[in-house]
Chains A and B, each alone.
Chain A
Amino acid sequence: MMLDGRIFGRMALFGTAYLTLGFILLPLFFVTWLAFFAQEIPSFPPEGYTLKWFGAIADNRNFATGFLTSLQVAIAATLIGLALGVPASLILARQTFLGSSAINQLLLLPIVVPGIVLGTSIYVFQIETEIATGLPVLGSMGGLVAGHALLVIPWTVRLVTASLTGLDRAAEEAAQSLGADQWTTFRRVTLAAIRPGVVAAALFGFVASFGNLEMSLFLVAPGSITLPIAILQYLEWKIDPTVAAVSVLQIALIGGAMIITDRYVKLARVV
Chain B
Amino acid sequence: MASLTLDRLTKRYGDTTVVRDVSLDVRDGEFLVLLGPSGCGKTTTLRMIAGFVPPSEGSIRIGERPVTDLPPWKRNAGLVFQSYALFPHMTVAENVAFGLEMRKAEKAEIEPRVREALRLVRLDGYGDRYPRQLSGGQQQRVALARALAIRPDVLLLDEPLSNLDAKLRLEVRLEIRALQQQLGLTTVMVTHDQEEALTMADRLVVMSDGEVRQIGSQADLYETPTDLFVANFVGRSTMIAGTIYAPGAFRSEGGLELTCPPGPVTGLATMSLRPERLTIGPDAARLDNHMRGSVAFVSYLGGLLDVHVRLNDRDQVVVQIPNRGDVFVPAIGDQVEVGWPAAACLVFPRETN
Contact = CB atoms under 8 A, between A and B. Distances in A.
Co-complex (A, B): yes
A193 B85 CA distance: 12
B99 A168 contact: no
Interface string B67-110: 00001111111110111111111100000001100110000000
Chain A residues touching B, majority SS: helix
Contacts of B239: none
A251 interface: no
Contacts of B88: 166-167, 171, 193
Interface of B: 50-52, 71-79, 81-90, 98-99, 102-103, 143, 146-147, 150, 156
A112 B255 CA distance: 75
Given A173-B79, A174-B146, A175-B98, A180 B85 contact: no
A184 interface: yes
A178 interface: yes
A189 B52 CA distance: 17
A170 B83 contact: yes
B85 A179 contact: no
Those 5 A-B pairs whose CB atoms lie nearest each other, nearest first: A179-B102, A178-B99, A170-B85, A177-B79, A176-B72
A170 B71 contact: no
Interface of A: 166-168, 170-171, 173-181, 184, 188-189, 192-193, 195
Given A177-B50, A177-B75, A192-B89, A184 B102 contact: yes
Contact of B71 (A171, A181, A188, A192): A181
A171 B87 contact: yes
A189 B95 CA distance: 10
Nearest to A192: B89
Given A174-B146, A178-B102, A180-B102, A189 B87 contact: yes
Which of A173, A175, A179, A195 has the most chain B CB atoms closer than 10 A to its own CB?
Answer: A179
A100 B148 CA distance: 39
Nearest to B132: A166
Given A173-B52, A174-B79, A180 B73 contact: yes
A195 B76 CA distance: 29
B73 A168 contact: no
B87 A175 contact: yes
Contacts of B156: 177
A199 to B, nearest CB: 12
A173 B85 contact: yes
Contacts of A176: 51-52, 71-73
Nearest to B156: A177
Nearest to B150: A178
Contact of A173 (B78, B81, B86): B81
A177 to B, nearest CB: 4
A184 B90 CA distance: 15
A181 B65 CA distance: 20
